[in-house]
Chain A
Amino acid sequence: MSPLEFNILSIALFCIGIVGVISRRNIFVIYMSVELMLNAINLILAAFSKTNGNMNASAIALLMMAVIAAEAGVFLAIIMQLYRNKKSIDSNDHTSLSQKEFS
């Protein structure tokens, strides 16, 4: 086990998250992809912490875990409100903030 393997794994996880964000239209899949990207950052921070030999990067990872929990709560509330508004979880249907008219 070297840090390079952990870093490659977290890069793969981050890229899978980006692919999920830009290629799917389901809001839930977009939400879970964003969570996967945040977890990839957590993983690379833990690997840096062991590489440096002190706990500072792990402290950042712990603080980011709180950010992940806050983001999950707000994002799920937004998803429920969007679904209550239009009865759809397709991201192409929710264009009420855009200035152009998509039809």
Chain B
Amino acid sequence: MLLENSIFALLAIFLLIGSITVIWAESIIYSAFGFLTALIAVAGLFALLNNSFLFLAQLMVSVGAVVVLTLIVIMTMNLKDKNMPKEPYKNIWIVFSSLLLIPFAIMLYKGVSKIGNFKEIKENFGDIKSMGEALFNNWILPFEIVSVLLLSALVGAIIIGRKELYR
């Protein structure tokens, strides 16, 4: 129990540091590495919740594909300082908007604070077999819709990213 709690605290610290780095860092490459840290910490939290298949999917999709794609785009653009936006009041904006968001966070906390404790989980909770049973018994229509969505996103990304769109 102590081991689980300490792992949770470590992952929470990594998650918060990474996500604050995303919004606070001056250079975008630091933001991208903070993003990578936050996503790996989310994967670790999935593993801590006994969701081994979600852990694997998060590592493969978010860390392996999304972050690598982001880093490739950032490094391909090769941004210089004159292309970066000038943000002289960045710190004031961040502090002021986080003060504005405190009532919203309190509202969300009131919404989730009555949730009970973890149930006693079954033996095969979170592995690929139970995930497949839930996915193909109850969620088969959203699964098919997501496949159509991925195809349309593929076609849309190719068409948007073409060079001669604006000529």
Contacts and interface: CB of A to CB of B under 8 A. Distances in A.
Interface string A45-82: 01101111111101111110111111111101111110
Given A28-B31, A50-B118, A72-B70, A63 B23 contact: no
Interface residues of A, number: 77
A15 B22 contact: no
Nearest to B149: A70
A47 to B, nearest CB: 6
Interface string A19-32: 11011111011011
What's the interface size class on B, roughly? 35 or more
A55 B112 contact: no
| Residue of B20, B54, B108 with most partner-chain A CB within 10 A | B54
Contacts, number: 243
Contacts of A18: 97, 101, 104
Nearest to B135: A59
B42 A53 contact: no
Contact of A53 (B8, B121, B154, B166): B121
A42 B49 CA distance: 12
B51 A24 contact: no
Contacts of A99: none
Interface in B1-60: 4-5, 8, 12, 15-16, 19-20, 22-23, 28, 31-32, 35, 38-39, 42, 45-46, 48-51, 53-54, 57-58
A29 B22 contact: yes
10 contacts: A11-B112, A28-B74, A44-B112, A46-B49, A49-B49, A53-B121, A55-B133, A56-B139, A59-B138, A88-B83
Interface of B: 4-5, 8, 12, 15-16, 19-20, 22-23, 28, 31-32, 35, 38-39, 42, 45-46, 48-51, 53-54, 57-58, 61-62, 65-66, 69-70, 73-74, 77, 79, 83-87, 90, 93-94, 96-98, 101, 104-105, 108-109, 112-113, 115-122, 125-126, 130-131, 133-135, 138-139, 142-143, 146, 149-150, 153-154, 156-158, 160-161, 163, 165-166
